[in-house]
């Protein structure tokens, strides 16, 4: 799994990196899950990975996602692409990633342990 964290300057650096472009190309070739949160989905857009995919991103950059269908939800999964809207939804984003890695039941158990009932 490849996970790209967002943020203005960080996202610009990711988008400009040849190494990141190479990792994303290899992930696509191997059909590996790729995820991005906040502004980082724009890096996936630049890499050509979001064509016709349902996605979300930080509201200020959603208009840059022209190859995809912007959902705007907190965390969106479309096949092996997972996107998150912002740092404020990091738990929902992580829950979607966990479901892909270990399955729904185990992921739900982990989340339940984060918020145990009294």
Burial letters 36-71, b for 16+ CB under 10 A, else e? bbbbbbbbbbbbebbeebbbbbbeebbeebeebebb
Burial letters 1-14, b for 16+ CB under 10 A, else e? ebebbbeeeebeeb
The answer to whether residue 38 is catalytic is: yes
Token pair for 87: 């740092």
Catalytic residue (one of 27, 36, 38, 44): 38
Please list the active-site residues: 38
């Amino acid at each position: 799994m490849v996970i790209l964290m967002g943020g203005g300057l960080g996202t610009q650096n990711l988008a400009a990196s040849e190494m990141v472009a190479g990792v994303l190309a290899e992930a696509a070739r191997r059909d590996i899950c790729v995820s991005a949160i906040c502004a980082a989905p724009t890096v996936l857009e630049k890499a050509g990975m979001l064509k016709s995919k349902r996605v979300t991103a930080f509201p200020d950059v959603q208009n840059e996602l022209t190859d995809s269908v912007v959902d705007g939800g907190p965390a969106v999964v479309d096949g092996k692409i997972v996107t998150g809207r912002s740092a404020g939804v990091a738990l929902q984003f992580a829950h979607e990633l966990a479901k892909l890695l270990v399955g729904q039941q185990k992921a739900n158990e982990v989340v339940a342990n984060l918020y145990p009932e009294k």
